[in-house]
Amino acid sequence: MKYVQILIESPMLKEYLRTKLVENGIETIIPATPMESIAKMRTHAPDLVILDFSIGKQSLIEVLKKKKADVNTVNTPVIILAEAIEQRQLVELSAYNVKKVFTKPIKIDALFANLSELIGIKFKVDNTPSIVEVNVNEDIIFIEIANGFNRDKIELLRFKIAELLLLYRIRIPRVIIMFSNIKCSRANELHLHAILQVVIESSRAALHYIKILTNDDYIREFMEKEKDYSRIKTVSSLQSAIDLLFENEGAPENKEEMAELISSQLLKAKTNKETEEMSLKFYAEKGNFDMENIMDSMKGIRIGVIDDDFIIQEQIKNTFEKTGAIVNVFSDGEEFFAIVDTWDFDLVFVDLNMPIVGGFEVLRVLQRKNKQYPAVILSTVSTRDAMIQAIQMGVKSYIVKPLKPDDILKKTFEILKANF
């Protein structure tokens, strides 16, 4: 029996790693504190130690020093997880038999390949091409599953949903599951059951607040015959899904336009992402998100703001002022195009309605130049119109003006820090 000790603070990441290791016949030792980690190593020498920089550098070094001083653990390999790490810190860690440092987001296939090498056990990782994306807009959790079913990504969905519920503190969860470019058969029924169970358990949404959006006849037939899911409605247009979610709170606008956009955009093939890697970004280190922790996580992020409104520019700049993020502002699309070939961004905020060169043209140019950094739409129109426009350009995230600093930070955190 192999033993792996895991000392990290994120409950979700800890549970994911524990589950995956146990599935592969490996016993996990999970101490609550650095002192307990040292004590457990003395009584039960592990085959591998996984440590997270989030426990604090001083505590981390203390654990490593004690491990090195013990003849039974001096040669035990160590994996470090970190948001970012400097070269001098890597040199310092090399003295403690640190074999690998993974910076977040953690690439799951690379992590388990490294675990296999260090402890001599072949991990089962599903390499089936699949896209799983989760976003929150207007307190609706949008889950898109495209191109195929990957069991590991389906399981990771559980942790992503949990993070977003914590981040947005959603009181009444509403969920739309969108199946895109998928042709199902009887062979996929176990995957469909797994997806529904993960969504139901992790979102804790009432079944009538979960909707399926698909053009696949087999998925529709599957939902009709499964009595356990009888309260989950299956539809073929987004406006129908939203209607059903808010049927007692007023009907959405622009139904025909929404249906057309979903048919032409959301439910068609997405060939540019078929080989997307699985990665984890777990930042709910203590089980909740407060604005101070969110701000602390954004150091070094480069953000572009393309908006002709000086007040909006200043508001976004001021929002990120104390985070250590780098913010560059552009008054219109032409000004942004002048640097687009030489500068890169982690995230851009794009106003839809600008003179000369508007937001849609900015998005088209980014697509044409294969600039794949994520975009957040800024719009003054109603939330449902913003949703239509965002979907039309393949953008899943938007914020409706007037902007609030907390909303800006949470949306940035969702896209850059809490995605897998």
Tell me the CATH architecture of domain 2-119.
3-Layer(aba) Sandwich (3.40)
Cα 295 off chain centre by: 17
Q: Is the per-residue pLDDT at 260 higher than 60?
A: no
What confidence score (pLDDT) does residue 276 get? 46
* 298-310 residue pLDDT tens: 888 899 999 999 9
SS3 track for 264-305: HHHCCCCHHHCCCCCEECCCCCCCCCCHHHHHHCCCCCEEEE
Q: Are 174 and 141 in contact (CB under 8 A)?
A: yes
> Which CATH number describes the domain made up of 297-416?
3.40.50.2300
SS3 116: helix
Around Cβ 36, how many Cβ atoms within 10 Å? 13
Around Cβ 391, how many Cβ atoms within 10 Å? 19
Question: Do 297-416 and 2-119 have the same topology in CATH?
Answer: yes
C-alpha to C-alpha distance for 324 and 409, rounded to whole angstroms: 13
Q: Give the residue among 86, 84, 43, 61 at the shortest CA–CA distance from 7.
A: 61
Task: Measure CA of the first residue to CA of the last residue in the chain; give whole Å.
Answer: 31
C-alpha to C-alpha distance for 383 and 312, rounded to whole angstroms: 18
Judging by DSSP bridges, how do beta strands 106-107 and 279-280 pair with one another? Answer: antiparallel
C-alpha to C-alpha distance for 359 and 350, rounded to whole angstroms: 6
Where in the chain are the domains? 2-119, 131-273, 297-416
Highest mean pLDDT among 214-218, 253-257, 349-353: 214-218
> Which CATH number describes the domain made up of 131-273?
3.30.750.24
At residue 152 the predicted structure's pLDDT band, cuts being 50, 70 and 90, is confident
Q: Is the per-residue pLDDT at 40 higher than 80?
A: yes
C-alpha to C-alpha distance for 102 and 112, rounded to whole angstroms: 11
- C-alpha distances (whole Å) from 388 to each of 52, 257, 366 are 41, 8, 19
**Mean pLDDT throughout 226-231?**
94
C-alpha to C-alpha distance for 392 and 23, rounded to whole angstroms: 41
Flag whether the pTM goes above 0.85. Answer: no
* 190-201 residue pLDDT tens: 999 999 999 999
Q: Which of 297-306, 352-361, 379-388, 409-418 has the lowest mean pLDDT?
A: 379-388
**Mean pLDDT throughout 85-108?**
85
SS3 254: coil
List helix spans (H) across 70-129: 87-93, 108-119
C-alpha to C-alpha distance for 192 and 52, rounded to whole angstroms: 34
SS3 325: coil
At residue 235 the predicted structure's pLDDT band, cuts being 50, 70 and 90, is very high
DSSP letter (8 states) at residue 79: E
What confidence score (pLDDT) does residue 105 get? 67
Cα 144 off chain centre by: 12
